[in-house]
Amino acid sequence: MSLALDPAAQDLLFREARTANTFTDEPVTEEQVQAIYDLVKYGPTAFNQSPLRIVLVRSAEARERLIPHMAEGNQAKTAAAPLVAILAADNEFHQELPQLFPHFPQAKDVFFAERPVREQAAGLNAALQAAYFIVGVRAAGLAAGPMTGFDFAGVQKEFLDGDHTPLMIVNIGKPGDDAWFPRSPRLAYDEVITTV
């Protein structure tokens, strides 16, 4: 093994962590979400643009509004999860850029004046942050259940606005009974990595 990260942490974040489909009733606290955010906010993005925005669906009323937008196979688990988070990309992230990238505050206007450029950058960098968030959920000893099986336009209209594009929805909690399928195979090193 050539890794500096200790094996228990490797297991917690990658090897034993799994996408959960069932959860216990144990709540996910605000303190836990704050601790997750305070860790993963440091994950790198281009120009530190940090375009990820998160809506925590906590109230019963909001949960009821969300469920009909989920794909049928995702409805029961999304209704039952202790916490559901809608992850979205802020396509107007450049407004915060002078604060976030003080080395070169002009980046806002020099690189990100055009909306299509911002949408592409926000999509990529918010996806990186979504992955950091999933790792962070696992770092908190919780299981994540990320899903893209939902009506994106419906969720955007119901919970976001025209400047925020949904990326994924993540169920969060302690894994319950029969929480996952057997681990699916991964591609071999040589199927993924080539050297030139």
Residues in 3-22 at the binding interface with a copy of itself, rule: CB under 8 A: 3-6, 8-10, 12-15, 17, 19
Q: How far is the CB of 176 from a copy of itself (least distance, A)?
A: 18
- The 23-52 contact track toward a copy of itself, x by CB under 8 A, reads ------x-xxxxxxxxxxxxxx-x-x-x-x
What kind and span of H or E run contains 116? Answer: helix 115-139
Residue from 25, 110, 178, 185 that binds a copy of itself (CB under 8 A)? Answer: 185
Q: How far apart are CA 146 and CA 170, in angstroms?
A: 4
Nearest Cα residue to 51 out of 147, 154, 136, 128: 128
Stretch of residues binding a copy of itself (CB under 8 A), selected from 74-82, 171-179, 180-188: 180-188
Contact region with a copy of itself (CB under 8 A), list: 74-82, 171-179, 182-190: 182-190
For residue 79, state whether it binds a copy of itself (rule: CB under 8 A).
Answer: no
Cross-strand pairs, 84: 57, 171
Q: How far is the CB of 112 from a copy of itself (least distance, A)?
A: 12
Rounded Cα distance between 36 and 163, Å, is: 25
Pair type for strands 83-90 and 52-57: antiparallel
Count other Cβ atoms within 10 Å, centred on residue 107: 18
The tokens describing 182, both together, are 């057997």
Number of residues that bind a copy of itself (CB under 8 A): 83
Report the b/e string of 74-103 with b at 16+ CB within 10 A: bbebbebbbbbbbbbbbbbbbeebeebbee
- Using CB under 8 A, pick the residue from 62, 67, 79, 80 that binds a copy of itself: 62
Pull the structure tokens for residue 188. Answer: 């071999």
Residues between 105 and 164 that touch a copy of itself (CB under 8 A): 121, 123-124, 127-132, 134-135, 138-141, 144, 146-148, 159
Segment lying near a copy of itself (by CB under 8 A), choices 74-82, 171-179, 184-192: 184-192
Residue closer to a copy of itself by CB (options 41, 157) is 41
